[in-house]
A and B are shown apart, each in its own frame.
Chain A
Amino acid sequence: MIPFYIGATLVKVLVVFSATLLMIMAMTLAERRVSAFMQYRLGPNRVGWGGILQPVADGLKFILKEDIIPDKADRPIYLMAPVITMVPALMTMAVIPFGAPLQVGEYMVPLQIADLNIGLLYILALTSVGVYGIVLAGWGSGSKYPLLGGLRSSAQLISYELAMGLSLIGVIMITGGLTFGEIVAYQQETGWNIWKQPLAALIFLIAIFAETNRLPFDMTEAEQELVGGYHTEYSSFKFAMFFMSEYANMITASAFMVSLFFGGWDVPFVDEAALGNLGVGLSVLAFLAKVGFFLFLYIWVRWTFPRFRYDQLMRLGWKVLLPLALANVFLTGLYLVWKA
Chain B
Amino acid sequence: MATVVRTYEPGYWDKFYLPAIARGLLLTLVRMFRRKDTIPYPDIKYVPADGYRGLHRLNKDEDGRIKCVACEMCQTACPAHCIDIVPEPAPWDDGGEERHPAKFEIDLLKCIFCGFCELACPKDAIELTEIYDYASFSRDDLIIDREGLLKVYDITSMGNIYERQNRGESIQIDTGNL
Contacts and interface: CB of A to CB of B under 8 A. Distances in A.
A42 B38 contact: yes
B139 interface: no
A40 B31 contact: yes
B24 A305 contact: yes
Interface string B10-49: 0000000000010011011101111111101000000000
Contacts of A301: 25
Interface residues of B, number: 15
A239 interface: no
A38 B32 contact: yes
Contacts of A305: 21, 24
Contact of A37 (B24, B25, B32, B40): B32
A303 B28 contact: yes
Contacts of B40: 42, 45
A295 to B, nearest CB: 15
Contacts of B29: 300
A305 B22 CA distance: 11
Interface string A27-52: 00000001011101110010000000
Contacts of A37: 32-33, 36
Interface in A1-53: 34, 36-38, 40-42, 45
A304 interface: yes
Contact of A300 (B28, B33, B34): B28
Contacts of A42: 36, 38, 40
Contacts of B37: 40-41
B36 to A, nearest CB: 5
A301 B22 CA distance: 10
Nearest to B31: A38
Interface in B61-104: none
A303 B21 CA distance: 12
Contacts of A36: 38
Contact of B38 (A40, A303, A304): A40
B36 A304 contact: no
B38 A38 contact: no
A300 B31 contact: no
A104 B60 CA distance: 82
A45 to B, nearest CB: 8
Contacts of A34: 32
Interface in A249-290: none
Interface of B: 21, 24-25, 27-29, 31-38, 40
Q: Closest 10 CB pairs between A and B?
A: A42-B38, A304-B28, A40-B37, A37-B32, A38-B28, A41-B38, A304-B24, A38-B32, A40-B36, A42-B36
24 contacts: A34-B32, A36-B38, A37-B32, A37-B33, A38-B28, A38-B31, A38-B32, A40-B31, A40-B34, A40-B35, A40-B36, A40-B37, A40-B38, A41-B36, A41-B37, A42-B38, A42-B40, A300-B29, A301-B25, A303-B28, A304-B25, A304-B27, A304-B28, A305-B24
Given A40-B37, A41-B38, A300-B28, 9 more contacts: A37-B32, A37-B33, A38-B28, A38-B32, A40-B36, A300-B29, A304-B24, A304-B27, A305-B24
